[in-house]
Chains A and B, each alone.
Chain A
């Protein structure tokens, strides 16, 4: 059994199913990327895993316990997002001191070094920080708490590119020093794909897949060529995405299977790999209509 398991987990919110029969299992000491469009249910899932919200039906286990209102799960997990609230009377340094009393594995030295590296002022107040700075500060809390289950929900919001890169690097380094189970939800899969061991893709509250990153990389192939030839060739194959490129030529993404790709190449079709990030976009695309249709 994995460290985190969900069986037929559902959650309805406001009459709508935010999560719909999700089952998966996350092993100990892995980094999992949680990907999906806005409103796919990422935050709902993560809040249930961290015990903040209650599931509507199904089973959920974190560290072999039910997370809602559970102290054991609370002390061994941390949920980091951009909405964290702190008192206006506490300075950033005070918050770090307070956090240390709550998390037994807290690494003070790491916290202080990150604090200095990202040039925080000890007497600054949390409310006075810019959006990016605030995210960076939350990230420090997430890393230094060294919880067995560490959840980053869109933590990189507002961070500039350099800080995001630093964050990923810090995360990886710290993960190698102290392995733990990390879940990151992000819209920038291309940035985090090198960190990830698994990808969990959600769409409309349902699980599309939960696969090792290598399988995701080989999940599909892209074919470019003259429209009639390509469309003919992909017949009876599982098409994920299709678009016209320029005049008379098409780009089609199909699910990877042992195909006779040489035959395709002989027909003038060029075969290219599909990055996980593009794949997730294609898979979670709306079935019908594009933004252009709205303005017709």
Chain B
């Protein structure tokens, strides 16, 4: 019998394609969630009204933020789901090792983030269309002059946030898969530390300042990419000796 060897790169690619096909259910849930978020967002996030001189003006505020928040949560939980047993077992049905499995998972999370980020941002024009069709609306943009560069920054930042949520979920999922008790210990320790040592919120505000208040998109991207890379490497290292198909 002739023995074969397989190049690592083509294996990761095969796994990536295989997972995209078999995880299609995750994308279905994304569509449902985003439509739901749009529906909620169409309720408006605030309104004020004024009338005088025989004219009445109602100002409604609409924002697609909810869609993005839903998408971030979706990415977080989908990534946790990908580390659960049945998903892992499915990955190990065909040729794989731990590293290629992790890399293809991360590639899938990256793809999920790009697709879901794009559709989340596209929800804004969709909402406009819906509001227009409903009628009686005159649009005023919140930020009147958004440059192309700012738009691009917005897209990149959104995708990076979703990707960050995905990598956090992936790491948490990987850690909790190592032992059943960790499912309880990890969240308790995490929240416990925040409550016990971060009573005045100094740590959280520092973290927020580090990421959220970064004004340069380049610096922001660099910080995010490094963080995401660290999270993913941690997950990869932790699962590298894990036994599968228990």
Name A residues whose Cβ lies closer than 8 Å to a Cβ of B.
28-29, 47, 51-54, 63, 69-72, 74-76, 83-90, 94, 98-99, 101-105, 146, 148, 178-181
Contacts and interface: CB of A to CB of B under 8 A. Distances in A.
Nearest to B21: A90
B98 interface: yes
A54 B97 contact: no
Contacts of B95: 71, 74-75, 102-103
A75 B4 contact: yes
A179 B244 contact: no
Contact of A52 (B22, B92, B94, B100): B92
Interface in B14-52: 14, 17-18, 21-25
Interface in B93-122: 93-100
B1 A180 contact: yes
A102 B22 contact: no
A104 B6 contact: yes
B241 A148 contact: no
B58 interface: no
Given A75-B6, A102-B95, A54 B241 contact: yes
Interface string B1-14: 11111101001001
Q: Report, nearest first, the 10 A-B pairs whose CB atoms are least far apart.
A: A87-B22, A102-B94, A104-B4, A85-B89, A148-B1, A102-B95, A75-B6, A53-B243, A85-B90, A180-B1
Given A69-B97, A89-B24, A76 B18 contact: no
Nearest to B99: A69
Interface residues of B, number: 33
A86 B97 CA distance: 18
Given A52-B92, A71-B6, A72-B5, 13 more contacts: A47-B245, A75-B11, A83-B89, A85-B89, A87-B21, A87-B23, A87-B24, A90-B21, A98-B21, A99-B94, A102-B18, A105-B4, A148-B2
A18 to B, nearest CB: 12
A69 B92 CA distance: 11
B240 interface: yes
A79 to B, nearest CB: 8
A83 B245 contact: yes
Given A71-B11, A75-B4, A85 B94 contact: no
B93 A71 contact: no
A102 B25 contact: no
Contacts of A87: 21-25, 90
B14 A102 contact: yes
Q: Tell me the interface secondary structure of chain A in the complex.
A: loop
Interface of B: 1-6, 8, 11, 14, 17-18, 21-25, 86, 89-90, 92-100, 240-241, 243-245
Contacts of B94: 98-99, 102-103
Given A71-B97, A102-B94, A76 B25 contact: no
Contacts of A181: 1
26 contacts: A53-B243, A53-B244, A69-B98, A69-B99, A69-B241, A74-B97, A75-B5, A83-B89, A84-B89, A85-B86, A86-B93, A87-B22, A87-B23, A87-B24, A87-B90, A88-B25, A89-B22, A89-B23, A89-B25, A94-B21, A98-B21, A101-B18, A104-B4, A148-B1, A180-B1, A181-B1
A52 B21 contact: no
Contact of B97 (A70, A102, A104): A70
B3 A63 contact: yes
Contacts of A102: 11, 14, 18, 94-95
Contacts of A84: 89, 93
* Among A54, A72, A83, A102: residue with most chain B CB under 10 A: A102
Contacts of A104: 4, 6
A85 B90 CA distance: 5
Contacts of A54: 241, 243
A77 to B, nearest CB: 9
A101 B10 CA distance: 10
Given A74-B97, A148-B3, A90 B22 contact: yes
B243 to A, nearest CB: 5
B241 A86 contact: no
B169 to A, nearest CB: 19
A88 B26 CA distance: 12
A178 B23 contact: no
A85 B86 CA distance: 7
Nearest to B24: A89
Given A70-B97, A98-B94, A76 B8 contact: no
A47 B86 CA distance: 17
Contact of A86 (B1, B2, B22): B22
